[in-house]
Structure 1
Amino acid sequence: MWRVGVRRSFKFLLRPTSRQAASLAACLEDHRQLYNAALEHRRTAYRKAGVTVRYGDQSGESKHIRADDPDGQGRWSFSSQQATLRRLDKAFAALFARVKAGRTPG
């Protein structure tokens, strides 16, 4: 019998080969660059034109980014890149929720 409300979690020890570790590091670096570029895009659009850029806008542009950079951003799954952009969108939502509530943003 299952209890309602019980959460189970599992931890797996990751022991990648040196080739896999290099691939994971490259994936992390490319996703970091995507996150920072998307953040800068939002900041610049608002500063220069007063335009708010949202997840849907950036997700739509990612198809073109992937096509222009097949050996960089194009080599990773589209869904993982969407998750990175969603994480940025969630961070912005939390920031503005704190500002609206009168708390210190950050």
Structure 2
Amino acid sequence: MRRSYKFLMRPTAHQQAALTACLDGHRALYNAALEERREAYRRSKVSIRYGDQSAQLKEIRADDPDQAR
């Protein structure tokens, strides 16, 4: 028998701001990765795989200290 639980989040104003900033950063990173994949396929019909992009994250984090958080 599976049971599921729902937890109600009631973040403080500071926590809400931190969660929003985290979500915005992840959204920007995802959209950039998606755009890279689309452009690579559109220009040269090359598929970029998830593993290739995740390997680039170390370089991205080194260049942008905000992504390291």
TM-score over 0.5 (shorter chain): yes
Q: Percent identity?
A: 67
Number of aligned residues: 69
Are 2:10 and 1:21 aligned? no
**What are structure 2's unaligned runs of at least 5 residues?**
none
Q: CA deviation at 1:49?
A: 1.6
Higher relative contact order, structure no. (Cα contacts within 8 Å, ≥ 6 residues apart): 1
Quote the residue 2:25 is aligned against: 30
| Higher alpha-carbon Rg | 1
| Residue matched to 1:93 | none
Q: Which runs of 5+ in 1 are unaligned?
A: 1-5, 76-106
What TM-score results when the alignment is normalised by the length of structure 1?
0.62
Q: Alpha carbon RMSD of aligned pairs, Å? A: 0.8
From 47, 53, 56, the equivalent of 1:52 is: 47
